[in-house]
Amino acid sequence: MAMMRLRREDPRVVGTFRLHRRLGAGGMGVVYLGSDKRGQRVALKVIRPDLAEDQEFRSRFAREVSAARRIRGGCTARLVAADLDADRPWFATQYVPGPSLHDKVNEGGPLSPAQVAAVGAALSEGLLAVHDAGVVHRDLKPSNILLSPKGPRIIDFGIAWATGASTLTHVGTAVGSPGFLAPEQVRGAAVTPATDIFALGATLAYACTADSPFGQGSSEVMLYRVVHEEAQLAGVPDALAPLLASCLAKDPADRPSTLSLSLRLKEIAAREAHGPSGGPLENGAGAGAGWQRAERRPSDRPTGQRAEEYARQRTERRTAGNSSPRPHPSRPPAPHDAVSRPSGPAPTAGKNPRKPGGRTVRRAPAARPAGTGGKRAPVRTTSGGRRPGPDRRLLRQRVIVFVVVTLLVALGIAAAQGCQGPAHGLGVQRPGTVASSGGAEGPYGVGEQNP
């Protein structure tokens, strides 16, 4: 909704509300954007000075505000506050963000059949709550329907009337808009819920064609067509034309009830939503209020070789900054068990492979094989981390060699000690000698002399 700066003659404070912007002006007064002390925003309408001096208008206005207080529905703007005894009576309703149906169609063109049916179903539910409260709106038109993020909302109950009341027709209090008025309103007859059904049919026809079903012209011409000529529905989709034609019947008794209209529009909305013309309005209008959401389109994901290339590029972007070399996809893949060995003599058992003099076994990074979706093969290395495959077996072999060598050395030492022990510490005689406790030793016995 367009906002304008406050003019010099506009008030700055009305009741407990501070006014910020102009939202618009109509036959009854000016509508302002205001807020209370808690920051709640409202649409506040101040009655024109000439109407404020009319006591008959004040009495009718008081009855209308009293009737509007009884309305409870999700598709209407709730009445927040009103002052009927002020110098210029005013009332404030909940502020509804979003464009009007008139502005939406005027800027973006006619709506699709599914969208029109969804809007109509939500509005008919709102009218059902209004009529259950014993109130008739009497001025339902595209500019009084706001497409909020939570769904369409009916606003401007300033000229709403209690069911069965007669229309006041003196100058300055004409109600309704030419092209959307029901024939009984033009004649000055009593208004009923069927009066709003006629206006809703004309409003939905406008949403389908971007024009009133009774064309354009002066107020007198438009009112004459409403009473005496049939509505023009040439541009209305076939799915909606019969139902809208019944809503625009001249006789109120020939129009569908509010409940019947709501059910039939819901069926049309559900059926049309599956067609190519279905879809929600922009700006999220209608979310959570019966709008049919657009179906999700299938994703254009690549398949086959394109899918592999896409996965490879995505993996490289995700691992950007890694210093480890990556083979080009055009290179042939290296064998999975390739081992890089340094030149020189083979290492001996017991050397630490992590020291400069030792042998370092490192598996060469394998290229990404085709058909793996770009995933990199695992790189096996002996420098830290888990040691699967041949590296573990090599470590096991070294441990076995070390144990065997240790055992052999131990056995050799034990054998050497066993051979030397009898000659020196165990009293075992050498061959060819005789031990004696005195005298000279000789090879032939105690006390014998060498020959």
How many C-beta atoms surround the C-beta of residue 181 within 10 A?
Answer: 26
DSSP H stretches of helix in 27-98: 49-52, 55-69
Which of the 8 DSSP states describes residue 38? T
Instruction: Give the span between the Cα atoms of 324 and 381, in whole angstroms.
Output: 13
Tokens of 1: 């909704």
Q: What pLDDT score does 314 carry?
A: 54
Q: Report whether pLDDT(5) > 70.
A: yes
> Which residues are CB-contacts of 115 (< 8 A; sequence separation ≥ 6)?
207, 278, 279, 280, 281, 291, 292
Q: What is the mean pLDDT of residues 157-177?
A: 48
Percentage of the chain exceeding pLDDT 90: 38
User: Residue 61 in contact with residue 89, Cβ under 8 Å?
Assistant: yes
Q: Report whether pLDDT(52) > 80.
A: yes
Convert 157-225 into a string of H (helix), E (strand) and C (coil): CCCCEECCCCCCCCCCCCCCCCCCCCHHHHHCCCCCHHHHHHHHHHHHHHHHHCCCCCCCCCHHHHHHH
Q: Report whether pLDDT(263) > 90.
A: yes
Question: Which residues have a catalytic role annotated?
Answer: 139
Q: Confidence class of residue 72 from pLDDT cuts 50, 70 and 90?
A: confident
Instruction: Give the span between the Cα atoms of 247 and 240, in whole angstroms.
Output: 11
Q: Report whether pLDDT(80) > 60.
A: yes
> Which residues are CB-contacts of 176 (< 8 A; sequence separation ≥ 6)?
138, 139, 159, 185, 199
pLDDT in tens, 24-51: 887 788 999 999 999 999 999 999 998 8
Q: Report whether pLDDT(112) > 70.
A: yes
> Which residues are CB-contacts of 60 (< 8 A; sequence separation ≥ 6)?
168, 173
Q: What pLDDT score does 136 carry?
A: 87
Q: Report whether pLDDT(74) > 70.
A: no
Instruction: Give the span between the Cα atoms of 267 and 98, in whole angstroms.
Output: 26
End-to-end CA distance of the chain: 147
Q: Confidence class of residue 134 from pLDDT cuts 50, 70 and 90?
A: confident
pLDDT in tens, 380-422: 444 444 544 556 788 888 889 999 999 999 888 888 877 555 4
Q: What pLDDT score does 1 carry?
A: 55
Q: Confidence class of residue 361 from pLDDT cuts 50, 70 and 90?
A: very low
Q: Which residue has the higher pLDDT, 34 or 166?
A: 34
Percentage of the chain exceeding pLDDT 70: 61
Q: Which residue has the higher pLDDT, 450 or 378?
A: 378
Query: Please, what is the average pLDDT of the chain?
Result: 74
pLDDT in tens, 276-301: 544 444 443 443 344 434 333 333 34
Q: What pLDDT score does 240 carry?
A: 96
Q: Report whether pLDDT(446) > 50.
A: no
Instruction: Give the span between the Cα atoms of 268 and 276, in whole angstroms.
Output: 14
Q: What pLDDT score does 16 carry?
A: 93
Instruction: Give the span between the Cα atoms of 119 and 290, in whole angstroms.
Output: 8
Tokens of 232: 């023009």
Q: What pLDDT score does 329 carry?
A: 45
Quickly tell me which residue has 């049916």 as its tokens.
Answer: 117
User: Residue 435 in contact with residue 428, Cβ under 8 Å?
Assistant: no
Three-state DSSP at 274 gives coil
Tokens of 263: 């059910």
Q: Report whether pLDDT(116) > 70.
A: yes
Instruction: Give the span between the Cα atoms of 436 and 55, in whole angstroms.
Output: 160
Q: Give the E-state strand segments of 16-150 in sequence order.
A: 17-25, 29-35, 41-47, 79-83, 90-94, 135-136, 145-148
User: Residue 57 in contact with residue 158, Cβ under 8 Å?
Assistant: no
Domains of the chain: 13-284 (1.10.510.10)
